[in-house]
Amino acid sequence: MSKLFEDSAINGMNLPNRFVRSATWEGMAADDGAVTPKLIETMAALARGGVGLIIGGHAYVRPEGKASPWQLGIYTDELVPGLQEMTAAVHACGGRIIAQLAHAGCFTSAQLTRQPPLVVSDFDGLPAESPRKEITALDIREIVEGFSAAARRAGSAGFDGVQIHSAHGYLLSQFLSPAFNKRRDEYGGSIHNRARIHFEVCHAVREAVGKDYPVLIKMNCRDFVENGLELEESLQVTRLLAGAGLDAIELSGGMLTSGRLSPSRSKINSQDREAYFREEASAFKKEIDIPLILVGGMRSIEVAEQLVEDGVADYISMSRPLIREPDLINRWKAGDLRKAQCKSDNLCFSPGLEGKGIYCVVKKDEEVA
C-alpha cells in the first residue's frame, strides 16, 4: 500500500492518510467571524472527501488582527458554539480538523477593523499617509494572550489541535522578516530576537492546551521579497521551535507582496512546477525530528508519493485543488490517479471578495456550459 494512505499520528491525533488541507480564506464567515452553515458544509465536504487532516481557515485571534472580510474568528467565547457545530460536522464524517490561529498585523485596514493596523516597526511597505500603530511591549503581551485564549477556545470547540500561523507576511511572520522588523528592542535585530514572540506564543499556547494536544506551526522557508527572511535564518528558527515542544511544521513560503513568487503561484501545468518548496523542505528535514507538512503546488499523486518516499516531507498539504475537488483524496484512493483538476489560476478567490465565498469559477462555468 502507498505510504500516502498509511495510518499515522501527530501527538496522539490519529490520521488515516498523509493528505492535509492547507488553510485558506474561505470568505464564508459572518461579518463578526461567526461560523455559517455554508462554512460548516465546506468543512464536512472535505472530511467526506477523504482529507486526512483539515486545517480550518485562518481565524483571527484578536479583533484588530482581522485580515479580510467574512474571515473566520476565534477572538471571543461567543464564537465557540458555532465552532463546535463545525467540528462536530467534521467528526461525524470521520474527519480531523485543527484551528489555524492568526493575526494579520499590518495586512489589515482601518476600514475593516476601525483601528490603525499594527506594524512591527515602521517600514517602507506602507504608503506614508497610511494609518498605523507600532507595536508596544504591552501590545505584545496582549497578542500573546490572544493566541493563548484562542487556543483554549479551539480546545473547547472540539478542534483536534491548533496551528500557529507564522507565514505569508502575517503578524508573526512580520516579526521574523528583516523586511518588516526594524525594531531596536529585544524583539528586533538578531534572528533569535526576531523569533522571541514565537517562543512566547508557543509557550502560552502549550500552557493553555496541555502537553497532549497537537500544536503545529506554519512557517515561511523564504519570504521571496527584498531583504526578507532567507533559508538559513528560517532553519535557525525551525531548529529552536522544534526543540520548544511543537508537534509539526507546515512549510510554505512567500508573502502577500511577493508577486509571482507568492504562496499561491499560477500556471502549475507540469510536474516540474509542482512542490515549489521541495528543495527547502529537504533542508528542513535534515534539521528537525518532528513531522514536516509540505504545501505549495501539489497537483499529482506521483509527485506527492515521491516526496514522502524520498523523505522530503511527511505529509502533503493542498488548498486550491481541494476547492475544486473536495473529494480528490477519495478519487485517488479509489484508483483514479489523474492529476488534480485545479488550473492554478487563482480565480477561486474572486467570488470570496464579492461575499459569495470561494469556489472554483472554472468548474462552475463548465457546469453551466
Active site members:
170
Give the whole-angstrom CA distance, residue 199 versus residue 241.
Answer: 7
Distance CA 99, CA 113 (A): 22
> Quick check: 25 and 73 in contact, CB under 8 A?
no
Q: What's 340's DSSP letter?
A: P
Q: CA-CA distance, 166 to 168, in Å (whole number)?
A: 7
Give the torsion sign (CA, 82, 83, 85, 89).
positive
How many CA within 13 A on the CB side of residue 364? 8
Where do runs of H (alpha helix) occur along 6-123? 37-48, 80-92, 110-113
Distance of CA 93 to the CA centre of its chain: 22
- Look up residue 158 and give its three cell numbers: 472540539
**Furthest-apart CA atoms within the chain: distance in Å:** 59
Torsion, CA 59, CA 25, CA 306, CA 214, rounded to 10: 10
Nearest to 179 by CA among 169, 190, 187, 193: 169
Distance CA 58, CA 45 (A): 18
C-alpha distances (whole Å) from 113 to each of 26, 59, 136, 139 are: 19, 14, 19, 16
- How many Cα atoms within 13 Å fall on the side-chain side of residue 65? 30
3-class DSSP state of 141? helix
Report which DSSP code applies to 159: -
- Residue 218 cell numbers, joined: 506554519
